Homo-oligomer: A and B are copies of this chain.
């Protein structure tokens, strides 16, 4: 059984992918592809790196939830766009949850702490990067200066620390996820920005 929280994360990410598809005037196939890979692309990358079959290919919900998100975005995108501030909050929740769950899975398979953090961040941000590459855009993660990978890194690091202290399972996941979520919300609220290198002209 896929836990409910996990499905919520997947649904929100799928919705954000499907919405980007609608905005870029993709057809229904393209919308579904973006919905799917935004939602589970990060987890697929994590699982390929760990060396296990991607969870998305073991659980029917991972295919069905993106389909539901596609249908919703296809028919009711104006309503969803109006609800975007709420979507942003859910997206932050998904970010927190995915970094915690991804780190836990990496630790479970015996990866070293630093690599577990790396895979936790990959799980949380990988889907968005794949979404942007598939839409023919430079991934926003790399240049938009929003703190997005950084909260994921915080959550993953806390997860690894709790694991080292033998705090595991639901408590560890929830604490790490909530911390990453809170950091992300604060970063959006106060417009914290990732630094740029100094002394560079316009982008080439």
Contact = CB atoms under 8 A, between A and B. Distances in A.
Nearest to A18: B197
10 contacts: A24-B143, A27-B196, A29-B149, A48-B48, A49-B54, A50-B53, A51-B53, A57-B111, A75-B197, A136-B137
Interface in A4-61: 21-31, 33-34, 44, 48-54, 57-58, 60
A115 interface: yes
B141 A33 contact: yes
A164 B191 CA distance: 55
Interface in A54-111: 54, 57-58, 60, 63, 73-75, 77-78, 111
A165 interface: no
A187 to B, nearest CB: 12
A171 interface: no
A27 B144 contact: yes
Interface string A119-157: 100000000010001111111011111001110000000
Contacts of A143: 24-27, 30
A29 B150 CA distance: 8
Given A51-B52, A57-B49, A26 B63 contact: no
Given A50-B57, A57-B119, 16 more contacts: A22-B200, A27-B143, A27-B144, A28-B195, A31-B197, A48-B48, A49-B53, A49-B57, A51-B52, A58-B112, A63-B118, A134-B138, A134-B142, A135-B142, A136-B137, A136-B138
B141 A30 contact: yes
A202 interface: yes
A203 interface: yes
A189 interface: no
Contact of A197 (B77, B136, B204): B77
The 3 closest A-B pairs by CB, nearest first: A30-B142, A136-B138, A27-B194
